[in-house]
A = this chain, B = another copy of it.
């Protein structure tokens, strides 16, 4: 008798089956009721378990973290993909729509119209006194952003970048120094009215300078890909500059973290730590990864489980290391992606695996988290709006002007220098990350946070129209020459 014959289910007489089943059920319920009757006299001594009180304490309607986090994610994904589609129609990067979706569902719009509706997503302090939902959303958003930066690193063509390094570094530094100086000058005017109590001018000015100098590497990459410019010379220079900007900006941000926490002695340690980390990644890890990646390029067999868990582990460890050093988890994740050969199988498979779950599912948590903290309503008086306008103007003049000047000096034409300036003025996601850090540190007030978020959105929205005017759209992705 073969196995499959033996296993063929012999249909018994349906009446017998039903009778057995009903009998079983009735007997089960009957026995259970008898057990309950027997147990009804039992009582639990009050101190039967030392930790019982602790677990008993949360019985009174604890906030449902899972429901709130899933609901917030769903709302932001829904509204974000709608607004993202609208943005795409208007020739804008979809990220603007996604950020707007987060802001609209937060206190700035939904919360202003109906706080109850907003509390359905993010519970109020009364129902969630420990801020558990906020912590949860923050953790999910950070994991999303860490994986996103890893993807951005994976897509980076390091070999191509190195060729452009000279021009990129000069342009990049100019595009940081000029907005940094202008931003810290603006801090003179903003400090009295918009700095939070207890912040020193030094840390406030440093933060405003860095916040003005940010370029959104990921958004820039997305704009270039959308416009099919990511492999043109202009695109590569812009990406290289933005990458160099990122490294510089994170280093400056590390300085601020040190200053804001009044631990200037830490700054030397942070700088040394960052240098050591970069050296280890490039001199030790990179050759190993290159060799490992090459081994899988020749075969089509699935990557072994150890390589998959090893890669995720490497991203987590790199992110943790930079977070522990003080230059934020994102930098480590990005660098971890950047050292993987971008055309090898590891890079291709991880990009294919991670792209949708990260950008569609996890990144919206970041947009929601940022939107939750953005209170546009705080920007109320005419004076506030004037300061907001001043911030936008200073940010644009500094970044656009600084890049334009430096690009001209390194030999670019006026048109290309201007296009590069416009591209570097994109602040999107990165600016939001930096602003969240500033708010966490208590270096900027919620009002200033809202103004800076508006600045990030406006400068990001400017980029596409200006680039369209300056660079005719490429018919298709230009192959590398």
Contact = CB atoms under 8 A, between A and B. Distances in A.
B31 A74 contact: no
A445 B237 CA distance: 61
B329 A187 contact: no
Interface residues of A, number: 140
A440 to B, nearest CB: 7
A389 to B, nearest CB: 20
Nearest to A43: B192
B66 A201 contact: no
Given A4-B232, A35-B184, 6 more contacts: A44-B198, A44-B199, A51-B445, A52-B196, A66-B142, A81-B306
A64 B173 contact: no
A166 interface: yes
Interface of A: 3-4, 6-12, 17, 20-21, 24-25, 27-28, 31-32, 35-36, 38-40, 42-49, 51-53, 55-56, 58-59, 62, 64-67, 69-71, 73-74, 77-78, 81, 85, 130-133, 135-140, 142-143, 146-147, 164, 166-167, 170, 173-174, 177-178, 180-181, 184-185, 187-188, 191-199, 201-202, 204-205, 209, 232-234, 237, 260-261, 305-306, 308-309, 312-313, 316-317, 319-320, 323-324, 329, 352-354, 356-358, 360-361, 378, 406, 409-413, 415-416, 439-442, 445-447, 471, 478, 481
A140 B138 contact: no
20 contacts: A6-B412, A6-B415, A6-B416, A9-B233, A24-B174, A32-B209, A39-B191, A39-B201, A45-B192, A47-B197, A49-B194, A55-B196, A62-B440, A66-B142, A67-B320, A67-B329, A69-B139, A70-B323, A77-B313, A77-B316
Nearest to A329: B66
Contact of A56 (B38, B77, B196): B196
Contact of A55 (B142, B166, B439): B439
